[in-house]
Structure 1
Amino acid sequence: MPLVRLAHSAVESGPEGLRLQEVAADVGVAHPTVLHHFGSREELLAAVIDRVQSAIYGEVFAALGESDLGSDSLARLLDRVATVVSAHGHARVLYWLALTGLSSSERKPLGAVVEAAHELRLGRGRAPSSRAASREDTRFLVMLATFALTAESVLGSDLFGLEDGEAASQRFRVWLAKLIASHLDAGPRDA
């Protein structure tokens, strides 16, 4: 089953509007085939959630693996993540799922991203102070980037009076990367 098309259907109608019969018609197979493959609408949604998260996390982990946490490297990382959350409406799917109370099969879906980012941060020794960065500080940075990129994808730059579309989005990501790099360079702070 082409889960990218199913995710697109979820974007168009929202997860509540995703029906097995319509999915079958959309992908050109019989309804019993979809039912046999997924079992239920809930299992279909779980597969869509897993597909969307796999697409996003795959890019995030690849980008983290190439990052040195400098502002240029962070800008490239944010560009890659922005591209994947915008592609096929992945950010919209995540927001629909959150708004409808559906969630990932994982208990802490961004936990692995936080752990990978924190290990990279500790390994890079970006903080000039002798204190190690806290996991919570890293979690907050991941939250900030996640909120910024997904909201920008869903809401767009027009909402904020930025009329030059992708160019404004690019400038925003460069600005955000510099903000994060500056925070990393300043070292851990007490909240």
Structure 2
Amino acid sequence: MLVPHPRNSRVYIAPFFFFFIFHTFFTGSILCAEVSLSSIEIFKTHEWLKVTPTVYFLCKGENKTVFPDVKKAHVFYDFNGQESWQPLTNFSSKKCKRCGFYEEDSIKSDDVFDEWEFCPSDFTASNAEYIRFKEKEFNATFLCSECLSIPGVGVVIAYKFWQKKRREQDQARFLKLFEDGDDIEDELGLGTVI
């Protein structure tokens, strides 16, 4: 039976501590962060033939979300997050998505208000908001309370603590190597050679 030396027992505990912190906090911190649209105002429409535009939001590889209420330019539309088309999208990881606002076009391809890399890290405000503004196109406010994953910060702190302890242990082992070095030289008969 292998029994760890008491001095090295911390080496065995550190990875388990890190795994526990990671599993407890990080895995649940951003598994399904829903993004909703809080408000939008479009500044112009791109369709010449149609009076009322069909504005929608789309992330690459997902279904588009049409905003049935958004019909006119220079009107501020405020949403409560309970609309049937909400949420707009969700983040299942910290990866970014290519998303945008578009307007359906009856003749050619759909018009683009704006496309950008939409990331959970965009939601840095304390109220979990992200404001996207494109001059002469639109102003939109998104909400994602799960994107502000405070436990993720705890994981970083735990990891940094683990790294520090690991460095201290490595330094102690290195110094111990030099303390025991005289005995090894004597055993090999290298006393005055080095």
Q: Same fold (TM over 0.5)?
A: no
The structure with the largest strand share of the pair is: 2
Please indicate the TM-score interval, normalised by the length of the shorter structure.
under 0.3
The structure with the largest helix share of the pair is: 1
TM-score for the superposition, normalised by structure 2? 0.25
